[in-house]
Amino acid sequence: MFDDKAQMHTLEGVAAATIMLLVIVYAIDATSMTPLTSSTANVHVETELQVLGQDILGALDYAEPGYNSKLKNDVLTWNGKEYVWNGTKYMENGNASYLQNNLTNNLTNILGATLITQGIAHNVELTFLANNGTTYVTRRMIYNGDPSENAVIVFRKIVLQNSDTINSGNPIKDIDPSTNLYNIVDVKLILWRM
């Protein structure tokens, strides 16, 4: 005498439980990653990095009447080479055996006190006009690798005049010798957290 009707209880209990668990999986999938989740892609962390980058460039670009700003002096005295942070100094890329080939200027002083101590990786690139103002050229001043996808970029534009003394190795050239305008440089600071 077999009675096979009551197995449905178990089956239905299991089915009901399965439905609920599947919906929970859906809920987890739908709400896991948002711009405010605590990670390096958090929008607040990126905003903080952007404000810090703009603050650094803004503090360097202050000038009193009669003087050039510190950032402008750094661009004028740059010798055109690319530098890499090796843990203690910015050494010339490819020529690090000569210890005197390091970069020390106002920019590196502030970067060393703010970004290096917080472990934020950074690149500094300069974009300027060439060929009488018809093409752009981009050169790196500081290179620490390729940025990650949550990197922040801040810009500052600097105008150079003929009356400023410029380093001979500097790749920035005069786009118009007939007027006093030498070139317009776009300083780009790229920051990202590792």
Partner 1 sequence: MGIIKNEDAQFMLLAGFIIAIGLVITTVMLNNIIFESNMAGEAGGDPIKYDIMNLMRISGDEMKSAYRNATNVSGVSKGKMIANFTNQTQNFSANLPKIYALHGEGVSVSWDVSNWKYNVSANFTDDGTATGETNWTVIENVKDSKITINITNISGIFQIGLINISKPSWINLTTTTNTPLTFINSTTIDPYSIVFRFGNTTSGNYTITGNTSNSRVFLRSREYILYSTVTLSTSIMRTNITIPVSVPW
Partner 2 sequence: MKSDSAQVTIDYITGIGIFLLAVIFVFQFVYGLFLPFQSGSDKATLSADRAGTVLVERLLHADKAIELNVIDQGKLYYFNNKRLYYSNQTNYNAALREIGLFSNESVFDMNVTVTYLNGSMMRNGTNFPLVSGPALPETTDIGQTKRLVLIVNSSTGYNENAILSVRVW
| Structure-token pair, residue 79 | 């010798």
CA angle 162, 165, 168 (to 5 degrees): 105
**Least CB distance to partner 1 at residue 85 (A):** 25
Binding track, positions 41-80, relative to partner 2; x by CB under 8 A = ---x--x---xx-xxx-xx-xx-x----------------
Residue 150 within binding range of partner 1, rule CB under 8 A = no
The owner of tokens 């002096």 is 73
User: Do residues 184 and 176 lie in contact, with contact meaning Cβ atoms separated by under 8 Å?
Assistant: no
| Structure-token pair, residue 83 | 């530098």
Angle at which helix 70-77 crosses helix 43-60, to 10 degrees, equals 80
Burial 126-140 (b: 16+ CB within 10 A, else e): bebbeeeeeeeeeeb
Radius of gyration of the chain (CA): 28
Residue 179 within binding range of partner 1, rule CB under 8 A = yes
The beta strand positions in 6-119, using DSSP E, are 83-85, 90-92
- Interaction with partner 1 in 107-146: which residues (CB under 8 A)? 127, 129, 133, 136
Residue 49, classed as helix, strand or coil, is: helix
Which of 61, 77, 84, 93 binds partner 1 (CB under 8 A)? It is 61
**Least CB distance to partner 2 at residue 97 (A):** 31
Which of 84, 110, 151, 153 binds partner 2 (CB under 8 A)? It is 110
Residue 39 within binding range of partner 1, rule CB under 8 A = no
Residue 157 within binding range of partner 2, rule CB under 8 A = no
Residue 94 within binding range of partner 1, rule CB under 8 A = no
Q: Could you list the residues that contact partner 2 (CB under 8 A)?
A: 6-7, 9-14, 16-17, 20-21, 24, 27, 31, 36, 44, 47, 51-52, 54-56, 58-59, 61-62, 64, 110, 113-114
